[in-house]
């Protein structure tokens, strides 16, 4: 039986242990991407197939096994993050854009919630609190990380602008 996922504007993913950076980026861009470096090949295949997730892997053999099983799989070639994201966006024909309402926690994959400066007072350094106005909190109580548009934002903008040209 084949369960090839139909093209969707918002596919979900499972990434192999080599692709932690790709997973963090996809989460930031609002995609549900499972990543756990302790998952072995059989578990990755099972998750991709049973949950209709796109498997992202650097392993040719795993890629072939996924396709043979009827899962959707992308063999990520480049180690450059922009090229890797570009390949995913082209193969699935999806746009990778940052939407601050859709972002997920790069660290744990839970949705992020936009919060006011007051709500994160005491949870981020004073300097950050006074300098920035947009904050997000991870909705997973076990994680709870706070994010803001800081200096790393320039890198994100640069990668995204290279991506969609």
66 or 110: whose CB is closer to Zn ion?
110
Work out whether 137 is an interface residue with Zn ion (CB under 5 A).
no
Distance between CA atoms of residues 54 and 82, nearest Å: 19
Any contact of residue 163 with Zn ion (CB under 5 A)?
no
- 159 lies in the site for Zn ion, by CB under 5 A: no
* Strands 146-148 and 135-138, sheet pairing: antiparallel
Is residue 146 involved in binding Zn ion (CB under 5 A)? no
Cα-based angle 108, 110, 115 (whole degrees, multiple of 5): 115
Closer residue to Zn ion, CB minimum distance, 67 or 115: 115
Site for Zn ion contains 138 (CB under 5 A): yes
Which residues, 63 to 122, sit near Zn ion by CB under 5 A?
A: 105, 107-108, 110
Question: Is residue 36 involved in binding Zn ion (CB under 5 A)?
Answer: no
3-state SS string for 63-113: HHHHHHCCCCEEECCCCCHHHHHHHHHHHHCCCCCCCCCCCECCCCCCEEE
What is the residue whose two structure tokens read 């992308």? 74
Residue of 143, 150, 158, 161 that binds Zn ion (CB under 5 A): 143
Residue 51 CB neighbours (<10 A): 14
- Total interface residues for Zn ion by CB under 5 A: 8
Q: Is 140 a binder of Zn ion (CB under 5 A)?
A: yes
Compute the least distance from the CB of residue 133 to Zn ion, in Å: 21
User: Which residues sit at the interface with Zn ion, rule CB under 5 A?
Assistant: 105, 107-108, 110, 138, 140, 143, 145
């Amino acid at each position: 039986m084949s369960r090839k996922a139909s093209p969707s504007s918002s596919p979900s993913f499972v990434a192999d242990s080599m692709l932690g950076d790709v997973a963090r980026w996809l989460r930031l861009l609002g995609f549900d991407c499972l990543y756990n470096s302790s998952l072995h090949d059989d578990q990755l295949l099972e998750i991709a197939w049973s949950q209709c997730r796109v498997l992202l892997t650097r392993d040719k053999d795993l890629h072939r096994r996924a396709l043979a099983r009827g899962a959707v799989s992308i063999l990520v070639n480049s180690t450059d993050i922009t090229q890797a994201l570009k390949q995913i966006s082209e193969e699935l024909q999806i746009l990778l854009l940052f939407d601050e309402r859709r972002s997920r926690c790069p660290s744990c994959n839970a949705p992020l919630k936009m919060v006011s400066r007051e709500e994160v007072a005491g949870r981020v350094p004073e300097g950050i609190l006074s300098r920035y106005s947009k904050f997000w909190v991870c909705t997973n109580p076990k994680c709870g990380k706070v994010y803001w548009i800081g200096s790393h934002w320039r890198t994100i903008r640069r990668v995204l602008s290279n991506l969609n040209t």
